[in-house]
Structure 1
Amino acid sequence: MSEATENEAIESSKAICDDPLTKKELDRLFWRYQVRYLTCCNLENWHGNCYAYDMIPLYKKYYDKDGQRAGMRRMFDFINTEQTTASVLWGILVSMEEQKALGKPVSDDMIRTVKSSLMGPLAGVGDSLVQATILPLLTTIAISLTGTGDALSPLGATLFIIATPILLWTYARALFNSGYGLGKDAVSTLMGSAMDRIKIAIQLFGIVVIGALSASYVKVATPLSFAASADATPVVLQDVINGIFPNLLSLLLVVGCWFLLSKKGVSITKMIFGLMGVVLVLGLVGIL
């Protein structure tokens, strides 16, 4: 079967079941995500494989092989976020996939847009709350209960091992339930042009977040300088660039990477190794 024929078969696949997800099935999807989220990670789509794998029970309930394949492709898109806080996103995606299978007007682009746009903000909130606050706080309490010297106690380690999953999974379950309800209500309420406007708004929000992250973390500068004569004070090229367009080199790098990824089809893996090679060479010759 050619790729075009295969794509047509996938697009034309219909749901084989019209029953909503049961509580047992929702529980399975929640725990599948919580326990198996980090089972597969790669440089191409980071945790996209995990999302696709964790959604398999839903796809098997609603679709034939072609429909399952189409759903997996939706979930394979790149995603990198904080697992626990992103339970709200997982709930939204489960709800949207369910509503799509039940015949509601939920497009592939809408599901992909919600996933890609929310992963950044949720990563920021999750890293700050879970990684930088809750876990260090629990660790501090556990260490204080462990004691020192001859007064060592297993109480601290025991408390940490028991309290951490209980606290995080309670937090995650509340977010999952909220996300599932939010996604279900949104799909039921928004139709047609309203859904398109929401999609555009989410896309713009994602662009703003990516732009802010790029401006904060991408730093490119050149040490090159030149002088009109041997006695003249050297002019630093980076100072000249900053006087005309601050952070121009950083912007060119981001735009160049976007162009290669979206327009030329260069994979993320090739991009990473290519950037490493270019930076190494330019650094050795003194350009960067």
Structure 2
Amino acid sequence: MLPCLKKIYKDDSEGLHEAMERTSELFNAEDMTAALPVGILLSMEEQKAKGVPIESEMISETKAALFPPMAAVGDTLNWATIVPVMLALMCPYALSGAWWPPLVVIAVGALLCNSQAYILMHMGYNLGNRAIKDLVQSGLINKIMSFFTVMGMFVIGGMISSLVSVTCPITISSSDVSFALQSDLFDALMPNLLTLIATLIIFSLCKKENVSVLKIIYGTMVIGIVLGAVGVIA
């Protein structure tokens, strides 16, 4: 925001100093959707520089009120929906040996993200402070967040079902009968049951504060190698 603030407060060094102090306050939001509140904040700074009676506290409070919902929307929309969808579409081609899927993901992702940030920045600047307040007060922002949360979980569930596979190759045989644990027991109870159980275990570990992601990754690798070596899973 600094280049914009320098342009807004080009003849007011004290105002620029105060604006820079406000800008340095905590603002923890998702990269692309943060463009909307940034546009709104720039609009407020511009109005303040023109003499509109906007208190500094109002700008700071607006920033503090905007970043949680926009961070939630951005994380759900971009990282739990758009990115998994692109990866899910490109993974089959990558697994078949094609070299171009990573380039498509990078190019399309960059195009979507930059377009989103550009549009939201201008939207926030043009609509000003009233836009996000209307969304929050009307409750529409909560509906948007709920929609993208459900959509993101739906996509992630589909990816787990198609890309994660845990099976048990153990077969119990007698003189006349053989009993395969996977097909005759687990699949009879529920298809992909072991995959679901493994996913739920990892999900429960992710929710524990004292268990890091690296521990989960390395633990999963070790357990998978050991159980695979002894023939318990495949």
The TM-score bracket by the shorter chain reads: 0.5 to 0.7
Q: Distance in 1 between matches of 2:6 and 2:112?
A: 19
What is the aligned partner in structure 2 of residue 189 from structure 1? 134
What is the aligned partner in structure 2 of residue 22 from structure 1? 4
Q: Distance in 2 between matches of 1:182 and 1:126?
A: 26
- The alpha-carbon deviation at position 226 of structure 1 amounts to 1.0
Name the SS for the 1:220 alignment partner: coil
- The alpha-carbon deviation at position 98 of structure 1 amounts to 5.7
Name the SS for the 2:144 alignment partner: helix
Residue 207 (1) aligns with residue 153 (2): yes
Q: How many residues align?
A: 184
What is the aligned partner in structure 1 of residue 163 from structure 2? 217
Residue 285 (1) aligns with residue 226 (2): no
Could you tell me whether the CA contact under 8 Å between 1:92 and 1:183 is conserved in 2?
no
What is the aligned partner in structure 2 of residue 91 from structure 1? 32
Could you tell me whether the CA contact under 8 Å between 2:84 and 2:156 is conserved in 1?
no
- The structure-2 alpha-carbon separation of the partners of 1:22 and 1:201, relative to structure 1 and needing over 3 Å to count, comes to same
Mapping 1:58-73, distance limit 5 Å = 62-64=22-24, 67-68=25-26, 71=27
Q: Distance in 1 between matches of 2:227 and 2:190?
A: 22
Could you tell me whether the CA contact under 8 Å between 1:20 and 1:98 is conserved in 2?
no
What is the aligned partner in structure 2 of residue 274 from structure 1? 219
Could you tell me whether the CA contact under 8 Å between 1:224 and 1:237 is conserved in 2?
yes
- The one-letter code sitting in structure 2 at the alignment partner of 1:94 is A
What is the aligned partner in structure 2 of residue 44 from structure 1? none
Aligned alpha-carbon RMSD (Å): 4.0
- The alpha-carbon deviation at position 194 of structure 1 amounts to 2.7
- The alpha-carbon deviation at position 126 of structure 1 amounts to 5.3
Could you tell me whether the CA contact under 8 Å between 2:170 and 2:232 is conserved in 1?
yes
- The structure-2 alpha-carbon separation of the partners of 1:182 and 1:236, relative to structure 1 and needing over 3 Å to count, comes to farther
- The one-letter code sitting in structure 2 at the alignment partner of 1:224 is I
Q: Distance in 2 between matches of 1:23 and 1:221?
A: 59
What is the aligned partner in structure 2 of residue 153 from structure 1? none
- The alpha-carbon deviation at position 182 of structure 1 amounts to 5.5
TM-score for the superposition, normalised by structure 1: 0.51
- The structure-2 alpha-carbon separation of the partners of 1:125 and 1:209, relative to structure 1 and needing over 3 Å to count, comes to closer
Could you tell me whether the CA contact under 8 Å between 1:113 and 1:203 is conserved in 2?
no
Q: Distance in 2 between matches of 1:62 and 1:224?
A: 64
Could you tell me whether the CA contact under 8 Å between 2:35 and 2:121 is conserved in 1?
yes
Deviations 1:82-133 (A, max 9, x none): xxxxxxxx4322323565865434252x23322321224322565669xx8x
Mapping 1:1-288, distance limit 5 Å = 22=4, 62-64=22-24, 67-68=25-26, 71=27, 90-96=31-37, 99=40, 103-104=61-62, 105-106=65-66, 108=68, 110-118=69-77, 119-123=79-83, 173-181=114-122, 187-192=132-137, 193-227=139-173, 230-239=174-183, 240-288=185-233
- The structure-2 alpha-carbon separation of the partners of 1:174 and 1:92, relative to structure 1 and needing over 3 Å to count, comes to same
Structure 2: 5+ residue stretches without partners:
8-18, 42-58, 94-98
Q: Distance in 1 between matches of 2:80 and 2:226?
A: 32
Percentage of matched positions with identical amino acids: 20
- The alpha-carbon deviation at position 236 of structure 1 amounts to 0.8
- The structure-2 alpha-carbon separation of the partners of 1:181 and 1:188, relative to structure 1 and needing over 3 Å to count, comes to farther
- The one-letter code sitting in structure 2 at the alignment partner of 1:220 is V
- The alpha-carbon deviation at position 168 of structure 1 amounts to 9.6
Structure 1: 5+ residue stretches without partners:
1-18, 26-58, 76-89, 140-164
- The alpha-carbon deviation at position 257 of structure 1 amounts to 0.8
Q: Distance in 2 between matches of 1:277 and 1:117?
A: 31
Moved more, 274-283 or 182-191: 182-191
TM-score for the superposition, normalised by structure 2: 0.61
- The alpha-carbon deviation at position 224 of structure 1 amounts to 1.1
Could you tell me whether the CA contact under 8 Å between 2:39 and 2:122 is conserved in 1?
no
Could you tell me whether the CA contact under 8 Å between 1:219 and 1:247 is conserved in 2?
yes
